[in-house]
Each structure stands twice: as structure tokens, then as C-alpha cells.
Amino acid sequence: MRAMYYGTQYYRPPFPRKEFWAKDLKNIIELGFNIIKLWAVWNDVERKEGVFTFDELDELVEMAKGYGLDVMINTIVEGAPYWLYEKYSDCFYESVKGEKITPGGPANIPTGGWPGFCMDHPEAAEAICRFIKETSAHFKDRENVVIIDVWNEPHLEPMYDYPKELLCACKASNAEFRKWLKARYRTLENLNEAWFRRYTDWNQIVPPPRFGTYPDMMDWRRFWLYNLRRWLEEKVAAARAGAPNKLIQTHCASACYMGAAGNGALGTELADEFLLAEPVDLFGLSSFPAWLMGNMREEHFLAHMINLDMIGAAARGKTFYQVELQGGAGKPDVLGHVTPDKYDMRVWNWNIITAGGKGAVYWQYAYEPAGVESPGFGLTGFEHENTERSLEAGRCARYFQEKGLDETVSVLSMNGICISRNASLFLFAAERQEKMYADSLLGAYKVCADAGIPVRFVHTDYLKDAWDEGLCVLYVPMAIALSGEEQNDILAFAEKGGKVVVEAAAGFYDERGEMDVRTSLLKKVFEAEDFSVLYQENVERGKEHIVDKDGRLVCKGVSYVQTMEIHKGDKLGFVGDVSEQAKENGHCAYARSPYGKGCVEWIGTYPAMMAKREADEACTAFVQNAFVPQGYDFLRELKAEGLIVRMLRKEGCAANALCNGEKYVLAAVNQHAGERTIMVNVQGEVFEAVVPGYDGVLLELSSDSCEKDLSNGSGKEENKNGC
């Protein structure tokens, strides 16, 4: 039985003040919420070494119990105790320039102590884990404390305030980096070969102080992604030791391949949701859409949705939800920022449900009284009174809980957008160009959203399972760097019968950032040679667009256009002026080739990025045509233009079948002002609905008979992948 979590962050010491508690908690339960989040800040709890004070938290937990509210405790080790400063002065985070990040008062921790200590120092790690264990143990017998969140927005903590620095290069982290490199390369000779260096001793290796060579920067950033996963595992172990009967949770600040502002964050903030979801029981994310995700309403609606779908993909069937959702005005500006209204709250909630999430916890109930976040974020007004935001949030909470969605899980779409850690890290190493990758992911996603095509994200970590999980189409945007294993897995998917669409220069670089086109999947699939890349200074010139044999525009070139001579497969497009006849003997820029039971299609530019940046019609059409319109095996037809549509099913039902009266729920959210219509044909039975503007619908689908078993992707035998 899955729970749904609807509620609000309530207490971050010392706010709200005690005189508000009883009134606020009473209103929280009356709104229809079932949980509150309380911060256990390290320097507020362990003010003296070894002395743990939980008085205010205990009082709030007991008061919440009286109102029937559950509680999650969020352990905040980033607010380090002051008595540790001298004791552990060598445990501070440090930049490659040697600057130590001295703890102080940040925007989000009134009691200061931020960013705390680097856990690569054993003594710092021990103290941090002791605090988490003691806090968890203190609440292990409190029945209404149901969740311990061991890491608030895991990332390399100083990076939010130091985004242009390269961290952490403290002595202990350098030692851990060398240890990781030894495990990765085994011998110094192997590392020298990989990095093009001439080290004679492991101790000569330091983190790269600047951008320049790819292998060292990619490895350093990759090390930190796995290192933070190790830190999370230590925190989880501490919480389980203290409270083995509680659910353990973490929540990311965003989907880090996108970043909260859509600029890409993997190489900078160093959190990877696809590494962080596995160690915990519950997973989630923070989202402040009106503040961080776009100036226009429809822009931040879509950005919020892509973050949810990525986090859901990372959760891999595990319960995930919105652990923090913007409740009021964000920052900056002295008196706050854009304040969301009831329509924002409504669409954000529909986004969560459509993505398969299990609730929303708002940041926060009351406005922030002090610091640069003041007077932002309050779901309620300046006197803690209800607002249209809080009333709409409560209405959504009651509605979705009444619908019994706690017992549903997401159905996996036949359509997938590929995510690669190596592709993202390569673009970071290329002088922080991750936005190109984030724009490409968002572009492919936006095309599907605009056309009402169901789609999901498929990380290369899990690509081996994708065919058996029902995937038919894999769109691979801007995968300039891919490991040999990633390329083999992509081709294995095609070999089984899948359709793969790759963009320009796919796999030109390996996971170390070394170019060798001879090992590229393009070489293997198309027996290609004579590769060429043309830089696109101005895409409006029209001379370097991709046209078909009849001179019709296939796709505008964006940033670069790659061409090659192929000896296997069909030449479908060439570089040329759209007004001229393309010549058969030219190097092709668009091709398709059978591969095993499936096929691989290649386009020599970046249409997904162009679809996002320019909303170009030709690029949009190219990406859209890659996917299966109905999105699910058991649907004959789906018409849902302008709607984001996902399928949910009750746990225990067959994953890709709709028969014998089984009930599925189709969730659709309309992120636009005007109403839209949806029509779905399920084995001959038609379901239709009108979706009002800035709203959503739930359609219960059922079939009394089953024309044929579509489980385990047998619908693929009808060549639904389009190869």
C-alpha cells in the first residue's frame, strides 16, 4: 500500500515562533494535509559536543500527533556546530585555488554554519553520521514520525554560492580522488595512458585547476558524483542504525541533468539522481518553478514537468514525490519575487500526479521572517492566514487522495529519450557547455509534450533492461561522448528490434574525452568513412541545412552539421540549399540502416536543441516523427495535442496489457490557458474528455475483453517502432 504525502515544511529553527504553532497545525490538517516537515539542524540540536537538545522538535512532534499529522525529520548537517570550527578547522571545503570555505550564515539556514564540513575527512564524517544516528534514534519510537530525510538536496554543498569555482580540492578529497583513480585504472601507467600524462607517483596527481584537457576534468567530476553517492550511503546507514523502522529519504534540488534553471548542473553541482535514488526508500525533488524555472507560465510548467519525469525515471518504480514545492514568492528582491497563484498550484499538482508522483510538500507554510529569503515562500499570508494558494493546495490534496492514486504506478511508455552521464560530463569539460545538453533533452521532451506523445527518460545505466521494459523507440540527443559499453547497449537495443535515432557525432568521443571516430557506433552501423563537421555560424544562411533527395528541407542545421560517406544503409539527406537539387553522390547528412531486427537512424545536426531554442518547424517535425504517437502498446490511437499524457495502473496488474476488466488511469495535464480535448482508443473502445485550461483530468480506462496479449512488448512484432 503506497502512501501519498501532502503537507508542508513547517519548522526551520527558530521559525515560526511558538505562538503560531497550535493555530497553524490546526489549519494544516483542516486544509487536507497529512504531513509536516521539520528541520533538525545540527548546530541547533548539538549546541555542545555530545549534548543533543530536541525540546522544540519534541513539542512539535507531540502537537502534530494530537492533530493527526505525520512528521518527517530532515537532518541538516550543513548547519555545522560552532564548537567544531576549531576542532575540525582542516575539514572545510576548499577550492583548487586553496580558498577554504569558512562557515557562515547562508540564505536558507538562519542558525548559520553553512556549508559545513567535507565528509572526505574521517573525523568530519564520523561526527556527521553520529548526529544523524542520534537524531534518528531519538525519534525511532515516535509513531507519527514516519520519514527521516538524511540529506536535504544532495550536491557538493558550496556550489550554489560558488558556481564558477572548482571544488572540493581539500587534502582529504584529493586523497579520495587518488584512491578512486587507483581503483579505476589499477596502475599509474594505465592512468598516464588515459590522461596523456607522465606521472611517476600517485601523489603527483591533483584535481585539474582549469579547463583544458578532457580526461582529468571528466574523471574528477565523475569521481565526485560517485563520491557523493558514497556519502549518501554513509548517511543512510547512520539513520538505519538509529531508526531501523523508519522510511529513509533524500530529495534532489532538481533533476541535475537539467538543473533548476535549465542550464545543466551535473558537472557543477555534482548530484546525479540516477546514482542517488537507489540507497533510499523514498525519493523526491525540490521545485520552485515560478522563481527559478522560467519567466513565462507555460515555460516553467514544462520545466517543472521534465524535472519530475527525470526524477521518476531515476526512482525506477520506487515511491517519489515533490518533497519541496514553491508555496509563495521566491527570492531575490527585497520584498520578494513572483508570487504563484492558484492556477500555478493546480498545474504543478497535476504535473506531479501525471508523472507518477505521490504528493506535494510545500516550501513552506509561513513566510520567511528574516534573511534574504524574507518575506518569501509562504503558502499562507503575513498573518498566517489562508490564501488562494493554500486553499488550492488543500483542494488538490483532498482530490488526489480521494482518487486512490496511492495504489497506482506509472506505465512505461514505448518512447524513450536517452540520458548519458558521459555526454553531459563531456560538455561540462568543454568549458561548461552543459546547457547544450540540457537544451537538447528539453527540446526532444517539448516536442512530445506539444504533440501529446507519451515519452519517458532512459538512462544508459539501465539501457540493458529497456527492451524488456517495453521500450520501442530510443531518441539519443547530442551524445557526443559515449563509452564503448553505452554504444554497445544502444546497438543491442536496436538489434532486438528497437528503433534508435542518434544526432550528429554520436560517440565521436569516449568516456575519457578522446576522439576516435573508428570506434563510433556510426562507423559500425553505416560502415562510414570520410567524416566531416561544418560549423554553423548563422543558421539562417540556408546553405548548410539538410535536405532530402528532392531538395525538400529535412532539418535546419544548428551549431554544427556533420556529414559522412556511408557504405551500408540508405542515404536520406544531404547538405545543400533548400532551393537546389541535392546530389546523390554528395556526402550524406541523414541516413538509416537496418540493424539486427531493428534500425538506426542518424541526423547530422542537433534538431532537438533547435526545437527548443528556435521552435523550428522542420526540426520539431523531425523529432516528433521519431516517436510512436500513441505511446503505449495497448492503445490503438491517442489524440492529445497540447496535453502531457501518462498512464497509471494499479499495482499487480500486467505491465503492458489491458484486459479482463483491469483498470488503468490516464492522467492528462493541460499547461495552457485554453481548453484541449483528448481522445484515446483502447482496443476499439473510445474514451474522450475536455481538459480545461490550467487543469487536468483522470480518465479511468477498462476493457471487458482482450484482443491479444500485449504484455512483454509483443506489440513490437507489428513493427510499431517504424523500422
Q: What is the torsional sign of CA 558, 623, 344, 256?
A: negative
* Residue 704: per-residue pLDDT: 53
DSSP label of 17: -
User: The domain that contains 295 carries what CATH number?
Assistant: 3.20.20.80
From 625, 659, 694, the end of a domain falls on: 625
Average pLDDT, stretch 145-154?
A: 98
Cβ-contact 551, 521 below 8 angstroms: no
Alpha carbon distance 507, 479 (integer Å): 6
Asked if 271 and 157 sit in the same domain, the reply is yes
* Residue 452: per-residue pLDDT: 98
Q: Is the pLDDT of residue 332 over 80?
A: no
Q: Is the pLDDT of residue 538 over 80?
A: no
CA proximity to 350, closest of 296, 392, 316, 295: 392
Q: Is the pLDDT of residue 581 over 80?
A: no
One-letter amino acid at 498 equals G
| Residue 620 φ/ψ, nearest 5 degrees | -60, -45
Going from the C-alpha of 404 to that of each of 2, 4, 289, 651, 700, the distances in angstroms are 10, 9, 27, 12, 12
Helix, strand, coil: what percent of the chain each, to 5? 35, 25, 40
Distance between terminal CA atoms of the chain?
Answer: 41
Buried residues in 329-346 as b, exposed as e (16+ CB within 10 A): bbbeeeebbbbbebbbbb
Q: What is the pTM of this model?
A: 0.95
Q: Is the pLDDT of residue 409 over 60?
A: yes
Element (H, E) at 346: helix 342-354
Strand intervals (E) in 391-536: 408-410, 415-419, 456-459, 473-476, 499-502, 529-535
Asked if 390 and 435 sit in the same domain, the reply is no
359 bridge partner residues: 5
Alpha carbon distance 419, 497 (integer Å): 20
Q: Is the pLDDT of residue 709 over 50?
A: no
Q: How many CB atoms lie within 10 A of CB 395?
A: 16
Indicate whether 324 belongs to any domain. Answer: yes
Is residue 624 exposed (0-12), middle (13-18) or buried (19+ Cβ within 10 Å)? middle
Alpha carbon distance 455, 296 (integer Å): 24
Average pLDDT, stretch 22-30?
A: 98
* Residue 723: per-residue pLDDT: 75
Q: Which domain holds residue 488?
A: 415-625
User: The domain that contains 617 carries what CATH number?
Assistant: 3.40.50.880
Angle at 582 between CA 579 and CA 583, to 5 degrees: 150
Element (H, E) at 374: none
Which range, of 207-211, 496-500, 708-712, averages the lowest pLDDT?
708-712
Average pLDDT, the chain: 92
Asked if 517 and 400 sit in the same domain, the reply is no
Cβ-contact 170, 92 below 8 angstroms: yes
* Residue 712: per-residue pLDDT: 31
Alpha carbon distance 276, 39 (integer Å): 21
Q: Is the pLDDT of residue 603 over 90?
A: yes
Asked if 652 and 559 sit in the same domain, the reply is no
Indicate whether 648 belongs to any domain. Answer: yes
Average pLDDT, stretch 104-126?
A: 95
In what side-by-side order are the strands of the sheet with 676-682?
A: 637-639, 676-682, 685-691
Q: Is the pLDDT of residue 711 over 60?
A: no
CA proximity to 221, closest of 429, 2, 399: 429
Indicate whether 202 belongs to any domain. Answer: no
Which band of pLDDT confidence, cut at 50, 70 and 90, is reported for residue 550? confident
Angle at 403 between CA 650 and CA 298, to 5 degrees: 100
Q: At what angle do helices 55-66 and 21-31 cross, to 10 degrees?
A: 40
From 406, 440, 460, the end of a domain falls on: 406
In what side-by-side order are the strands of the sheet with 643-650?
A: 408-410, 643-650, 663-670, 695-702
Asked if 480 and 498 sit in the same domain, the reply is yes
Which range, of 254-258, 294-298, 473-477, 622-626, averages the lowest pLDDT?
294-298
Q: Is the pLDDT of residue 500 over 90?
A: yes
Angle at 49 between CA 48 and CA 53, to 5 degrees: 55
Indicate whether 697 belongs to any domain. Answer: yes
Asked if 278 and 145 sit in the same domain, the reply is yes
Alpha carbon distance 551, 198 (integer Å): 52
Rg (CA), the chain: 26
What does the pLDDT look like over 655-701, one tens digit per residue?
Answer: 555 545 568 999 999 999 999 999 999 988 899 999 999 999 999 98
Asked if 283 and 428 sit in the same domain, the reply is no
Indicate whether 683 belongs to any domain. Answer: yes
| Number of domains forming the structure of the chain | 3
* Residue 40: per-residue pLDDT: 98
Between these two residues, 544 and 56, which has the higher pLDDT value? 56
Asked if 371 and 266 sit in the same domain, the reply is yes
Asked if 440 and 337 sit in the same domain, the reply is no
Alpha carbon distance 84, 127 (integer Å): 9
What is the number of residues in the chain? 723
Alpha carbon distance 129, 464 (integer Å): 35
CA proximity to 6, closest of 256, 244, 327: 327
573 bridge partner residues: 590
Cβ-contact 345, 387 below 8 angstroms: no
* Residue 542: per-residue pLDDT: 45
Which band of pLDDT confidence, cut at 50, 70 and 90, is reported for residue 708? very low
Indicate whether 207 belongs to any domain. Answer: no
* Residue 582: per-residue pLDDT: 46
Indicate whether 179 belongs to any domain. Answer: no
What does the pLDDT look like over 29-54, one tens digit per residue?
Answer: 999 999 999 999 999 999 999 999 99
* Residue 661: per-residue pLDDT: 55
DSSP annotation string for 156-197: -GGGGT-TTS-B---HHHHHHHHHHHHHHHSSHHHHHHHHT-
Q: Is the pLDDT of residue 417 over 80?
A: yes
Which band of pLDDT confidence, cut at 50, 70 and 90, is reported for residue 584? low
From 406, 433, 460, the end of a domain falls on: 406
* Residue 585: per-residue pLDDT: 54
Cβ-contact 699, 680 below 8 angstroms: yes
Which band of pLDDT confidence, cut at 50, 70 and 90, is reported for residue 473? very high
Record the cell numbers describing residue 424, joined without a space: 553531459
What does the pLDDT look like over 213-240, one tens digit per residue?
Answer: 999 999 999 999 999 999 999 999 999 9
Which band of pLDDT confidence, cut at 50, 70 and 90, is reported for residue 579? very low
* Residue 519: per-residue pLDDT: 92
Cβ-contact 693, 670 below 8 angstroms: yes
Alpha carbon distance 296, 276 (integer Å): 31
Asked if 511 and 657 sit in the same domain, the reply is no
3-state SS assignment for residue 576: coil
* Residue 706: per-residue pLDDT: 42
Residues 6+ apart with CB under 8 A from 63: 21, 22, 25
Indicate whether 181 belongs to any domain. Answer: no
Q: Is the pLDDT of residue 543 over 50?
A: yes
* Residue 331: per-residue pLDDT: 80
Q: Which residue has the cell 520545466?
A: 303
Asked if 607 and 675 sit in the same domain, the reply is no
Asked if 643 and 621 sit in the same domain, the reply is no
